Amino acid sequence: MANRKQLGLAIVGCGVVGRIRGALAKDFPGIGWIGLADINERLGRQLKEDIGADFFTTDFNELIARPEVDAVIVATSTWSHVEPTLAAADAGHMMMIEKPLATDARESAQVLAAIEAAGVDAVVGYTQRFRRRFLVVKERIRTGQIGDVTAAVTRAFMNRMAPTGEVRLTQDRRFLTPMVVSGTHSLDMCLWLMGDAARPVSIFARSTEKVMSELGTKDATFGVFTMEDGAIWSMNICWALPREWPGAVYGLEIGIVGTKGVIDIEDTHRDVILATEMPQGPAYNPDGLTIDVERNVDFLTSFPPGDVHGGELWGPMREETNTWFQRIYNKKETPHATAAEGHRNLMLTMAMDLSAKTGRELELPISPEALMAGLEA
């Protein structure tokens, strides 16, 4: 093992998530070379200096083509994952891709097909799978502690700082909806917890857009899925809460009822509350974004990646990233979402948007072409 080759890692996108994962990469002994790419040269060169990376370019194709590269992290903006992912698949590299694979279902299917054709190991960044509470729940359901799932309820609340950050870099905001961008995390979580038996066959949804319409997106989407075995699942998200809402990003509630028991998860982060005369800035604060808000109450631990102690991030994104390094270096089995699961999640979130748009129940599965034709009509 002492003679095992260290891996070369390419990070495409040097913003909030790319910086977090890059800082962790520099400390992993199995990674011997780090290259960075970002169209924002100032941002990228700053990260290169901060983590002692070996290479930087503004052209992700140049980075991915480097002979040192074995694995790629795609951490660009939500709407710009397709091209670097296709380039990495073409080069045969292992990948961690921030969700979603794409914001167009046809492109997502193309990305998945390219990954599968290349035979590369690719995972999608659903960070919350790595929190202890959800791992415990997954194990209890997997081992039959509540029997067969008959019903589930999911409710996610977010303040509006996250969507404000998401839409700032593009004018094409048609598909940057609460479900596609953020609800996908809680959707993935529930499907993962419920397991292989959770196969949706229909969705009926509704949306509202009174507050966030000025940013070109919706306030909330509520829907009910029916499963192949007759189970029902209510899936709801609202990301239009006031900017002053104490949740730094999100609060989540999940209830799963089975034939032999129930699991009820309260994940609103109201168990650790800070109230202070010192203003609390936004937890999500990407480069180039100024959010004029002052909060004096904060639900601590409600920033999904984790929390900073001693200048380092501790929490689920640290676990997710370091476990991925173990996956690609030691070939370890991990709880990461696969590319196929990432594509499934996009299809279901966009199906909710289409049902809400048409006001009708939508039968599933639906093809990417039919889904996009309906959304673009």
Q: For 248-286, what is each residue's pLDDT tens digit? A: 888 999 999 999 999 999 999 999 999 999 988 776 666
294 versus 19: which is more confidently predicted? 19
Examine the pLDDT at 102 and tell me if it is beyond 70. yes
* Tens digit of each residue's pLDDT (9 = 90 or more) over 8-19: 999 999 999 999
Give the number of C-alpha atoms closer than 13 A to the C-alpha of residue 126, restricted to the C-beta side: 32
Considering the chain, what is the average pLDDT of its residues? 94
Q: In the chain, pLDDT over 90 holds for what percent of residues? A: 84
- For residue 170, what pLDDT band results from cuts at 50, 70 and 90? low
Examine the pLDDT at 165 and tell me if it is beyond 90. Answer: no
Q: Are 309 and 139 in contact (CB under 8 A)?
A: no
pLDDT at 290: 65
At residue 16, the 3 state secondary structure works out as helix
Residue 21 near residue 38 (C-beta atoms within 8 A)? no
User: For residue 148, is pLDDT > 80?
Assistant: yes
Residue ranges of alpha helices (H) inside 239-367 are 316-330, 339-358
Cβ neighbors of 234 (< 8 A, separation 6 or more) are 152, 153, 154, 222, 223, 224
**pLDDT at 2 > cutoff 60:** no
pLDDT of residue 307: 93
Kindly tell me if the per-residue pLDDT of 5 is higher than 70.
yes
Report the pLDDT value the prediction gives residue 172, as an integer from 0 to 100: 65
Domains in the chain with CATH codes: 7-128+319-338 (3.40.50.720), 131-304 (3.30.360.10)
Q: In sequence order, which residues have a C-beta less than 8 Å from that of residue 280 and are 6 or more positions away?
A: 274, 294, 295, 296, 297, 298
Would you state the pLDDT for residue 288? 60
Per residue in 185-233, pLDDT (tens digit) is: 999 999 999 999 999 999 999 999 999 988 889 999 999 999 999 999 9
The pLDDT of residue 323 is above 70 = yes
Task: Note the helical H segments in the chain.
Answer: 16-25, 41-51, 60-64, 82-90, 105-118, 132-142, 161-166, 178, 184-194, 316-330, 339-358, 368-376
Residues facing residue 262 across a β-bridge = 257
In this prediction, residue 301 has a pLDDT band, given cuts at 50, 70 and 90, of very high
What is the residue-wise DSSP string for 90-153? HTT-EEEEESPS-SSHHHHHHHHHHHHHHT--EEEE-GGGGSHHHHHHHHHHHTTTT-SEEEEE
Q: What is the pLDDT of residue 216?
A: 85
